[in-house]
Amino acid sequence: MDFLYRRSYRGPIKAAILDWAGTAVDYGSFAPTAVFLRLFKSQGVRITDEDARSGMGLMKKDHLRTILSRPPVAEAWKSAHGALYSEADVNDLFENFVPLQLAVLTEYATPIPGLLEVVKDLRARSIQIGSTTGYLRSMMAVLAPKAKENGYEPDCIICPDEVPDGRPYPWMCYRNAIQLGVFPMQAMLKVGDTFVDIEEGLNAGMWTVGLSQTGNLLGLSEAEVQALAPDERKTENQRIASQLYKAGAHYVIEGIWDLPVVLNEITARLAHGEQP
């Protein structure tokens, strides 16, 4: 009789890799949205909030390509510029985008409610905190110090211009694992508010946790969320949770404040030999 040897990790979670905008800071993920709206308006092309949010989570040049590829935007660009967009247009837009984004990032560095308490919980469990983002290193050089002033400082920050490709590729997660000295990947979880966050975590072999209320998919400020009727808020959270589960998320929570409950469940599943 032949036997197959199969290893099964049964240890604890060792690291949590958090997204930035819409997950840890910037409730509603407004910093990139506002800049994209302004950028396209300067080019004579009006885009909607939905257009601006369509590529959220991607490296910002890829985000621009995603916006420009949307049929209404492509047609509006052709009407304004006489031809469909080219890669040269993407490069020009990106060059204009970077200083605009840098100029406003400190305004969107407020920690999302519950984040600082969750950080304390993670520290108490000896869980390291890493991060991935769609922002370039130059942008994080502005955002991270302001977030630190506000009480949030992860152990590791990896940006898409420091790896071969950004999301949904797993390279930023792998760099976090190397820098934090954590293995196996099953001992890590990825938390984010976009589909590419979930895909990034899955591609890296990690547990994935989506956020339904504080991020890009809902796209509302904290005050706007609080102004919703309870039934409407519940319906919106369920709608977005369904989308994130379809994208492959292992868990979906409203906001970062609920992460400890998920950690308890994943820890129990690992102890029984379950894998992501």
Active-site residue, selected from the candidate residues 14, 51, 60, 258: 60
Separation CA 116–CA 97 (nearest Å): 30
Identify the CA nearest to 192 among candidates 67, 57, 101.
Answer: 57
Can 60 be counted among the known catalytic residues? yes
Q: Determine which one of 19, 26, 51, 197 is catalytic.
A: 19
Please tell me the distance from the alpha carbon of residue 25 to that of residue 109, in angstroms, as a whole number.
6
The reply to whether 19 belongs to the active site is yes
Gap between the Cα atoms of 28 and 222, Å rounded = 7
In our burial notation (b when 16+ CB lie closer than 10 A, e otherwise), range 239-268 reads ebbeebeebebbbbbbbbbbbbebbeebee
Please give the positions annotated as active site: 19, 60
